Amino acid sequence: MTQTDVGTQLQVPEHEPYLQVTWRDPLTSARGFVVIDQLVTGIATGGLRMRPGCTLHEVGELAREMTLKMGAFGIHVGGAKGGIDFDSTDPRADEVRERFLQAVRPLLERFWVTAGDLGTQQEQLDRTFARVGLGETSFHAAVVRASDEAEVRERIRQAFHARTEGLKLSELVGGYGVAEAALAALEHKEIPAPTARAVVQGFGAMGGSTALYLARAGVRIVGITDAQGLILNPDRGLDVELLLSARSTGGVIDRSVLREDDVELPGDAWLSQDVDVLVPAAVSYTITAENCDRIRGSLVVEAANVPTTPEAERLLSERGVTVVPDFIANTGAAAGAWWVILGEVVSPTGACSRLSAQIRPLVRNLMSRADVEGVSMRTAGVRFAKENSARLVNEYGGAVAFRDLYPEHSEYAEPTEFPEPVHERAEPTLLAPAPEEIVEPLTHPPYGGSPGTADLSEPSLEADRRPAAAFPAYWPGPADSANGGQA
């Protein structure tokens, strides 16, 4: 989760949102905002942030980003965002958040599916939903539209409590998608992963999992930054798994585990390293017109929200540096959540398999389109997302839905039964408790492939323009003999 500089425009076109709401707290100075940028199937999605200085403009631009994310990945849901101008560390923060949710409850009942964001943890948000009588999940507005609410709630609980290598779905799938986007971009530029070098700025959930899965694919991670500075090893690369084991909940690495040839430098030194890939995964607008000339690599893959200013991106483009935009690279968490809600995946492994199968051809095709049209990848991506979003509105409806949210009610659907949980117990039931740990690791195949697929063909952009409902109702992910091929 990242903080947005409210003084700088985000990189989306001028756009009038569908709905804007402003709330004033009667007991504190807090103000809150909801922006529904666009409704698709009568619903929109986007997290709820809480930070001092949050503005309606900031929330509106981030809501537009959510519309682009959903459009780019063909998910038949619009974009929204919520924000509260209040310090999340204030002892009154939970009460402020609860009053805000009570005030905008009509939106939460049917139209706005929200989630954790900067200053709001998902578990915290779910507890608040329960207190205001909206059930135990912030995905309430989607759940109540299901024919079997109990099944959907249990599917969400299982998927979001299951762990892969100690990480929950929300902690790994976002970074996994960034890594997959980076690998696809490297392939497009004909840079083999085993020869590539990368630096990751930020070592929280997004940066940590990005570094892990890039390293698993063979990319040498030579630098990682946290709040204390840059850790660098340009010769043999860093031991990412060692650093993850020594990472605090705030993403700070215990320096006592560093090896003798690991070097510490000031945090801003990450930009000037001689690498192929830079991954900004910390704060917004960290790459600016004033510092972008220090970048020596050919790829910037955005894990944070809008980490590159428009002017910096223009200057980088003139030098031949490709910026893989955030609404393509970092959509894994949002897409994964929606695939679970819709029943298209049921586990972290399934979500990552589905994500890889979509994001790699999407990145390659958008890079090819940008090359042919002589535009930035962001421009190509925005055009594609807007085209796809307009098609989804035509197919599913906008503010008034004329096709149901859930695939099983659509002509595309293939009715299926909800599969048993991963690593089921001796006598599994349909609604068995979520497993504590999924022991199989997520691994990358040889460079150029994707998990659980033997020979993915390269679909065209036209072929990619399918809503989520066009896929089978259950995407199993990689086969695993231990669990009957279920993900």
Query: Each residue of 88-123: pLDDT tens digit?
Result: 999 999 999 999 999 999 999 999 999 998 899 899
Q: Tell me, what amino acid is at 434? A: A
The whole-angstrom separation of Cα 442 and Cα 215 is 12
Is pLDDT of 426 > 50? no
**CB contact set of 477 (below 8 Å; sequence gap of 6+):** 345, 347, 349, 350, 351, 352, 353, 354, 451, 452, 486, 487
CB count, 10 Å around CB of 321? 18
The DSSP annotation for 216-276 comes to HTT-EEEEEEETTEEEE-TTT---HHHHHHTB-TTS-B-GGG--TT-EEE-GGGGGGS--S
Query: Each residue of 261-320: pLDDT tens digit?
Result: 999 999 999 999 999 999 999 888 899 999 999 999 899 999 998 899 999 999 999 999
Query: Each residue of 449-485: pLDDT tens digit?
Result: 333 333 333 333 333 333 333 333 223 333 333 333 3
Least confident among 222-236, 249-263, 405-419, 472-486: 472-486
- Bridging pattern class, strands 19-24 and 229-232: unpaired
- What pTM did the predictor assign? 0.80
Query: Each residue of 168-178: pLDDT tens digit?
Result: 777 789 999 99
Tokens of 136: 């135990």
Higher pLDDT, 403 or 29: 29
Which of 147, 171, 169, 173 has its CA nearest to residue 158?
169
Q: Tell me, what amino acid is at 333? A: A
DSSP alpha helices (H): ranges in 111-220? 122-131, 140-143, 149-161, 169-188, 205-216
Is pLDDT of 56 > 60? yes
